[in-house]
Structure 1
Amino acid sequence: MSDRRLVHIIDDEDSVRNSIGFMLQTTGYSVRSWPSGAVFLRELRNVEPGCVLLDIRMPEMDGLLVQQQLSARAASMPVIVLTGHGDVTIAVKAMQAGAVDFLEKPFEADQLLAAIDKAFARIDETGGASRTDAARTQLASLSAREREVLDGLAAGYPNKTIAYDLGISPRTVEVHRANLMQKLGARSLSEALRVTFTAEMGEI
């Protein structure tokens, strides 16, 4: 990678910052590591723009609050959320707030690199209206029941809760979930949510 694009790693664990940082540097990215979101925000005026890898669970200030502060300060750096807890509700909130993707630790290197590619593509791309229209077309292809299941997922509900609310079995929810993911061309929950939020709120 010739332009040495910058990735900011915000995580309170030294081992995580070091391992991710080493991997990204060997892949061609420039890296700057931060031990907390509070430290990053204090230096925000002076930092070079780039992509932000943001851990959710941190002392003093959690990742969602850091993300909110970045938005409030009109910092246009795309955010990828990292969570070690598999917390779908938190991931949904991050996506609704504009995160490019969320990754559950431990994640594969190719998952991280793909998410970073999407983050920098967001910086480079134009044409938000066309992406919004495309997302709305994708949602229109879903059946009424598939849309209800997707709405439940977007609200952060597990399959069992969605099944109870809709009066169907958890297995049926799984089938609808698999079908809607296929129709949306989504390989992960975060990709399906991104289609939903783009359609409802425009480019995020």
Structure 2
Amino acid sequence: MSELTQTIYVIDDDEAMRDSMTWLLEGEGYRVACFDSGDAFLGALRPDLRGCIVLDVRMPDMSGLELHEKLLALNCMLPVIFVTGHGDVPMAVSALQRGACDFIEKPFHNEDLLSRIHRALALDTEISARRQRDHEISHRLDQLTQREREVMHLVVAGKLNKQIADTLDISMKTVEAHRARVMEKMGVRTLAELVKAVMSFEDQTRGTA
């Protein structure tokens, strides 16, 4: 079962397919929202949407692959499951390499689609938790003074207090005071926790730049 905030966004120009998926997914207790084109979905897109996208590869005007590229450019993090015909598998594989979550070939068994959706929603939960964690770390980093940031980066780089004091031309006692305030403001108790928080945030920032 999905979280209350999660919705499955079905994007397909085939009305019969949209109706069929809605019947299946709502019957399993999921929230469903359907769109007949990529443009229609883009018009409803918001940064706080949660869930996953079930996207047909072949649609007029804007194909599923073209929509996926636009979503990547907009930094949309919703997991995407492509629905493909047999001849579209190479395109679907290419989409996986570009960050799509999964694909399924038509005709498919309902259980296969449901298992993919279950995995996609679990991935969405992980992504949401990571973004919330990164937001909290960013907020804590903003509370640091410039000197505390300098000390923190040297600490994370593995420098000893004496080396930090020499590098910044300050006393050991001052380094210890800054270091204690960094730990307090960052909400961590150990050096390992500090290193993990900073490195995770920096990796995420580089990945979305």
- Give the structure-2-normalised TM-score: 0.57
SS in 1 for 2:13: coil
SS in 2 for 1:50: strand
Change (3 A) 1:83 1:2: closer
C-alpha separation between the residues in 2 aligned to 1:44 and 1:69?
Answer: 11
Q: Does the 8 Å CA contact 1:8/1:34 hold for their aligned counterparts?
A: yes
Listed as ranges, the matches of 1:117-196 within 5 Å are 117-125=118-126
| Amino-acid identity (%) | 45
Instruction: List runs of 5+ in structure 2 lacking aligned partners.
Output: 131-206
SS in 1 for 2:40: helix
Instruction: Name the amino acid aligned to 2:117.
Output: I
Change (3 A) 1:59 1:125: same
Instruction: Name the amino acid aligned to 1:64.
Output: L
> Which residue number in structure 2 is paired with residue 191 of structure 1?
none
> Which residue number in structure 2 is paired with residue 134 of structure 1?
none
Root-mean-square deviation (Å)? 2.3
Q: Does the 8 Å CA contact 2:2/2:121 hold for their aligned counterparts?
A: no
Listed as ranges, the matches of 1:34-49 within 5 Å are 34-45=35-46, 48-49=49-50
**Offset at 1:87?**
2.1
> Which residue number in structure 2 is paired with residue 15 of structure 1?
16
> Which residue number in structure 1 is paired with residue 86 of structure 2?
85
Is the radius of gyration larger for structure 1 or structure 2? 2
Instruction: Name the amino acid aligned to 1:37.
Output: G
State which drifts further: 48-57 or 25-34.
48-57
**Offset at 1:121?**
1.7
C-alpha separation between the residues in 1 aligned to 2:101 and 2:94?
Answer: 12
Query: How many corresponding residue pairs?
Result: 129
Instruction: List runs of 5+ in structure 1 lacking aligned partners.
Output: 129-201
C-alpha separation between the residues in 1 aligned to 2:47 and 2:121?
Answer: 20
- Give the structure-1-normalised TM-score: 0.58
> Which residue number in structure 2 is paired with residue 6 of structure 1?
7
> Which residue number in structure 1 is paired with residue 60 of structure 2?
59
**Offset at 1:48?**
3.3
